[in-house]
Protein backbone atom coordinates (compact mmCIF):
# COMPACT_ATOMS: atom_id res chain seq x y z
CA UNK A 1 0.00 0.00 0.00
CA UNK A 2 1.39 3.39 -1.08
CA UNK A 3 0.93 6.53 0.97
CA UNK A 4 2.00 10.17 1.07
CA UNK A 5 2.27 12.67 3.92
CA UNK A 6 1.07 16.29 3.68
CA UNK A 7 2.09 18.41 6.67
CA UNK A 8 3.76 21.81 6.88
CA UNK A 9 5.84 20.77 9.92
CA UNK A 10 9.06 18.91 9.08
CA UNK A 11 9.22 17.26 12.51
CA UNK A 12 5.66 15.91 12.10
CA UNK A 13 6.52 14.41 8.71
CA UNK A 14 9.67 12.79 10.06
CA UNK A 15 7.84 11.29 13.05
CA UNK A 16 5.06 9.94 10.86
CA UNK A 17 7.55 8.35 8.46
CA UNK A 18 9.34 6.75 11.40
CA UNK A 19 6.06 5.30 12.69
CA UNK A 20 5.11 4.05 9.21
CA UNK A 21 8.36 2.09 8.90
CA UNK A 22 7.00 -0.31 11.52
CA UNK A 23 3.91 -1.19 9.48
CA UNK A 24 4.36 -4.06 6.99
CA UNK A 25 3.33 -3.46 3.38
CA UNK A 26 3.03 0.30 3.85
CA UNK A 27 5.34 2.40 1.70
CA UNK A 28 5.52 6.18 2.21
CA UNK A 29 6.50 7.17 -1.32
CA UNK A 30 6.61 10.96 -0.79
CA UNK A 31 5.99 13.74 1.71
CA UNK A 32 5.08 17.39 1.14
CA UNK A 33 5.16 20.57 3.20
CA UNK A 34 2.13 22.06 1.47
CA UNK A 35 -1.02 20.92 -0.28
CA UNK A 36 -0.20 22.42 -3.69
CA UNK A 37 2.94 20.29 -4.00
CA UNK A 38 0.89 17.22 -3.12
CA UNK A 39 -1.77 18.07 -5.72
CA UNK A 40 0.87 18.28 -8.46
CA UNK A 41 2.20 14.88 -7.40
CA UNK A 42 -1.28 13.30 -7.35
CA UNK A 43 -2.01 14.58 -10.85
CA UNK A 44 0.66 12.16 -12.12
CA UNK A 45 0.74 9.44 -9.46
CA UNK A 46 -1.72 7.13 -7.71
CA UNK A 47 -1.57 6.33 -4.00
CA UNK A 48 -3.79 4.39 -1.62
CA UNK A 49 -3.80 6.73 1.37
CA UNK A 50 -2.93 10.32 2.29
CA UNK A 51 -1.83 11.26 5.81
CA UNK A 52 -3.03 14.84 5.98
CA UNK A 53 -2.66 17.67 8.48
CA UNK A 54 -5.64 20.04 8.85
CA UNK A 55 -3.93 23.32 9.78
CA UNK A 56 -1.63 24.47 7.00
CA UNK A 57 -0.91 27.98 5.67
CA UNK A 58 -3.06 29.25 2.76
CA UNK A 59 -4.56 25.86 1.94
CA UNK A 60 -6.15 23.86 4.77
CA UNK A 61 -6.55 20.11 4.85
CA UNK A 62 -10.28 20.48 4.11
CA UNK A 63 -9.54 22.75 1.12
CA UNK A 64 -7.15 20.07 -0.09
CA UNK A 65 -9.76 17.31 0.24
CA UNK A 66 -12.33 19.34 -1.71
CA UNK A 67 -9.87 19.91 -4.56
CA UNK A 68 -9.11 16.20 -5.11
CA UNK A 69 -10.68 14.80 -8.29
CA UNK A 70 -10.05 11.08 -7.80
CA UNK A 71 -9.24 10.94 -4.10
CA UNK A 72 -7.69 7.99 -2.29
CA UNK A 73 -8.50 7.38 1.37
CA UNK A 74 -7.44 10.07 3.85
CA UNK A 75 -6.20 9.73 7.42
CA UNK A 76 -6.17 13.12 9.13
CA UNK A 77 -3.23 13.77 11.46
CA UNK A 78 -3.66 16.79 13.69
CA UNK A 79 -3.19 18.18 17.16
CA UNK A 80 -6.67 19.76 17.05
CA UNK A 81 -9.52 17.53 18.20
CA UNK A 82 -12.21 20.13 17.39
CA UNK A 83 -12.72 19.17 13.73
CA UNK A 84 -13.53 15.47 14.14
CA UNK A 85 -17.26 15.83 13.37
CA UNK A 86 -16.64 18.00 10.32
CA UNK A 87 -13.90 15.65 9.11
CA UNK A 88 -16.17 12.63 8.87
CA UNK A 89 -18.61 14.48 6.63
CA UNK A 90 -16.06 13.71 3.92
CA UNK A 91 -16.60 10.20 2.63
CA UNK A 92 -12.91 9.63 1.94
CA UNK A 93 -11.81 10.38 5.52
CA UNK A 94 -11.16 7.02 7.19
CA UNK A 95 -9.65 8.06 10.52
CA UNK A 96 -8.69 11.04 12.67
CA UNK A 97 -5.38 10.72 14.51
CA UNK A 98 -4.32 13.14 17.21
CA UNK A 99 -0.66 14.10 17.51
CA UNK A 100 1.62 12.80 18.89
CA UNK A 101 0.73 9.70 16.92
CA UNK A 102 1.30 6.34 18.58
CA UNK A 103 2.16 3.20 16.62
CA UNK A 104 -0.74 1.25 18.08
CA UNK A 105 -3.30 3.83 16.96
CA UNK A 106 -1.58 4.28 13.61
CA UNK A 107 -1.81 0.55 12.89
CA UNK A 108 -5.55 0.59 13.57
CA UNK A 109 -5.98 3.40 11.05
CA UNK A 110 -4.09 1.42 8.41
CA UNK A 111 -6.30 -1.62 9.05
CA UNK A 112 -9.36 0.57 8.47
CA UNK A 113 -7.93 1.76 5.16
CA UNK A 114 -7.18 -1.81 4.05
CA UNK A 115 -10.64 -3.05 5.05
CA UNK A 116 -12.50 -0.25 3.28
CA UNK A 117 -10.41 -0.61 0.13
CA UNK A 118 -11.05 -4.37 0.12
CA UNK A 119 -14.80 -3.92 0.52
CA UNK A 120 -14.88 -1.33 -2.28
CA UNK A 121 -12.87 -3.63 -4.58
CA UNK A 122 -15.30 -6.49 -3.95
CA UNK A 123 -18.28 -4.20 -4.56
CA UNK A 124 -16.82 -2.87 -7.81
CA UNK A 125 -16.18 -6.41 -9.02
CA UNK A 126 -19.72 -7.43 -8.13
CA UNK A 127 -21.25 -4.47 -9.95
CA UNK A 128 -19.02 -5.08 -12.98
CA UNK A 129 -20.16 -8.69 -13.20
CA UNK A 130 -23.87 -7.99 -12.73
CA UNK A 131 -25.98 -8.05 -15.91
CA UNK A 132 -26.60 -4.60 -17.29
CA UNK A 133 -30.13 -3.32 -16.84
CA UNK A 134 -31.36 -0.61 -19.17
CA UNK A 135 -31.89 2.48 -17.11
CA UNK A 136 -35.17 4.36 -17.22
CA UNK A 137 -35.31 8.10 -17.57
CA UNK A 138 -33.30 9.80 -14.81
CA UNK A 139 -35.44 10.60 -11.79
CA UNK A 140 -36.02 14.33 -11.56
CA UNK A 141 -37.42 14.46 -8.04
CA UNK A 142 -36.10 14.24 -4.51
CA UNK A 143 -38.02 13.12 -1.42
CA UNK A 144 -37.09 14.67 1.92
CA UNK A 145 -38.25 13.79 5.41
CA UNK A 146 -39.92 16.77 7.09
CA UNK A 147 -41.95 16.37 10.29
CA UNK A 148 -42.35 12.64 9.63
CA UNK A 149 -43.68 13.30 6.14
CA UNK A 150 -41.97 12.58 2.84
CA UNK A 151 -42.13 15.72 0.75
CA UNK A 152 -41.41 15.60 -2.98
CA UNK A 153 -39.24 18.34 -4.44
CA UNK A 154 -38.60 18.82 -8.15
CA UNK A 155 -34.84 18.98 -8.63
CA UNK A 156 -35.20 21.65 -11.29
CA UNK A 157 -36.88 23.94 -8.75
CA UNK A 158 -33.96 23.83 -6.31
CA UNK A 159 -31.80 26.96 -6.38
CA UNK A 160 -29.40 26.58 -3.43
CA UNK A 161 -28.73 24.09 -0.64
CA UNK A 162 -27.04 25.50 2.45
CA UNK A 163 -25.45 23.59 5.34
CA UNK A 164 -26.65 24.72 8.77
CA UNK A 165 -25.01 22.59 11.47
CA UNK A 166 -26.81 19.24 11.59
CA UNK A 167 -29.39 20.48 9.08
CA UNK A 168 -29.54 21.70 5.51
CA UNK A 169 -31.70 24.45 4.06
CA UNK A 170 -33.11 23.66 0.61
CA UNK A 171 -34.04 26.90 -1.16
CA UNK A 172 -36.42 26.40 -4.09
CA UNK A 173 -38.14 28.85 -6.40
CA UNK A 174 -41.27 28.93 -4.24
CA UNK A 175 -40.44 27.56 -0.80
CA UNK A 176 -37.63 26.73 1.61
CA UNK A 177 -37.21 23.42 3.47
CA UNK A 178 -35.16 22.62 6.58
CA UNK A 179 -34.04 18.98 6.57
CA UNK A 180 -32.02 16.98 9.08
CA UNK A 181 -29.16 15.86 6.84
CA UNK A 182 -25.61 16.71 5.88
CA UNK A 183 -24.62 18.59 2.74
CA UNK A 184 -22.41 15.68 1.73
CA UNK A 185 -25.31 13.21 1.91
CA UNK A 186 -27.68 15.20 -0.26
CA UNK A 187 -24.92 16.14 -2.70
CA UNK A 188 -24.47 12.45 -3.54
CA UNK A 189 -28.14 12.24 -4.59
CA UNK A 190 -28.09 15.24 -6.92
CA UNK A 191 -27.38 15.04 -10.67
CA UNK A 192 -23.80 16.11 -11.36
CA UNK A 193 -24.65 18.01 -14.52
CA UNK A 194 -27.08 20.31 -12.67
CA UNK A 195 -25.56 20.86 -9.22
CA UNK A 196 -22.13 21.90 -7.99
CA UNK A 197 -20.63 22.37 -4.53
CA UNK A 198 -19.07 25.83 -4.67
CA UNK A 199 -18.25 26.22 -0.99
CA UNK A 200 -17.98 24.06 2.10
CA UNK A 201 -21.49 25.20 3.08
CA UNK A 202 -23.22 25.60 -0.30
CA UNK A 203 -24.37 23.50 -3.25
CA UNK A 204 -25.96 25.43 -6.11
CA UNK A 205 -28.05 24.70 -9.18
CA UNK A 206 -25.77 26.10 -11.87
CA UNK A 207 -28.76 26.67 -14.16
CA UNK A 208 -30.10 29.23 -11.68
CA UNK A 209 -27.04 31.51 -11.74
CA UNK A 210 -27.87 35.10 -12.65
CA UNK A 211 -24.50 36.78 -12.20
CA UNK A 212 -20.93 35.80 -11.30
CA UNK A 213 -18.16 37.72 -9.59
CA UNK A 214 -14.71 36.46 -8.65
CA UNK A 215 -15.70 35.05 -5.29
CA UNK A 216 -19.49 34.77 -5.47
CA UNK A 217 -22.52 33.98 -7.62
CA UNK A 218 -25.97 35.56 -7.59
CA UNK A 219 -28.96 33.20 -7.52
CA UNK A 220 -32.33 34.96 -7.22
CA UNK A 221 -31.52 37.54 -4.54
CA UNK A 222 -28.97 35.40 -2.71
CA UNK A 223 -25.23 36.03 -2.99
CA UNK A 224 -23.45 32.69 -2.61
CA UNK A 225 -19.70 32.56 -1.84
CA UNK A 226 -17.45 30.51 -4.11
CA UNK A 227 -14.27 29.10 -2.56
CA UNK A 228 -11.05 29.41 -4.54
CA UNK A 229 -10.68 25.64 -4.91
CA UNK A 230 -14.10 25.41 -6.61
CA UNK A 231 -13.82 28.51 -8.81
CA UNK A 232 -12.11 26.77 -11.73
CA UNK A 233 -14.57 23.87 -11.70
CA UNK A 234 -17.47 26.33 -11.80
CA UNK A 235 -15.95 28.12 -14.80
CA UNK A 236 -15.35 24.78 -16.51
CA UNK A 237 -18.98 23.75 -16.05
CA UNK A 238 -20.43 26.98 -17.43
CA UNK A 239 -20.88 27.76 -21.10
CA UNK A 240 -18.41 30.67 -21.22
CA UNK A 241 -17.59 32.77 -24.28
CATH code, domain with 218:
2.40.50.1020
226 and 206 share a domain? yes
Residue 81, pLDDT score = 87
Task: Say whether pLDDT at 1 is over 80.
Answer: yes
Choose among 93, 105, 111: nearest CA to 54: 93
Tell me the C-alpha distance between 23 and 27, whole Å: 9
Whether 34 and 116 map to the same domain: the answer is yes
Is 134 exposed, middle or buried, given 0-12, 13-18 or 19+ CB atoms closer than 10 A? exposed
Regarding whether 217 and 153 lie in a shared domain, the answer is: yes
Instruction: Assess whether 120 and 206 both reside in one domain.
Output: no
Kindly state whether residue 134 falls inside one of the protein's structural domains.
no
Domain count, the chain: 2
**Is 136 a member of any domain?**
no
Lowest mean pLDDT among 32-36, 52-56, 136-140, 156-160: 136-140
Judge if 41 and 117 occupy the same domain.
Answer: yes
- Asked if residues 74 and 92 have their Cβ atoms less than 8 Å apart, the reply is yes
106: in domain: yes
Q: Which of 129, 162, 185 is the last residue of a domain?
A: 129
Indicate if 169 and 56 belong to the same structural domain. no
Give the pLDDT confidence score for residue 137 in this predicted structure: 42
Averaged pLDDT for residues 75-97: 90
Domain stops at, among 97, 129, 161: 129
Q: What residue numbers bound the domain in which 117 lies? A: 2-129
For the whole model, what pTM was predicted? 0.56
Closest CA to 101 of 110, 112, 93: 110
Residue 135 domain-assigned?
Answer: no
- Co-location of 151 and 56 in the same domain: no
* Residue finishing a domain among 129, 162, 179: 129
Q: Say what the pLDDT of residue 215 is.
A: 87
Quick one: pLDDT at residue 239?
A: 67
* pLDDT of 131: 64
Amino acid sequence: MKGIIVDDELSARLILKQVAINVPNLDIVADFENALQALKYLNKNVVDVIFLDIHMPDFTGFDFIESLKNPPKVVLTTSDRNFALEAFEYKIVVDYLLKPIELNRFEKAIEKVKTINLVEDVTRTKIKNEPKVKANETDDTLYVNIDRRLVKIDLSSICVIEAKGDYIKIITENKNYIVHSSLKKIEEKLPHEMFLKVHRSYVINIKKIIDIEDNSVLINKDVIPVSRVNRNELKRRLNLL
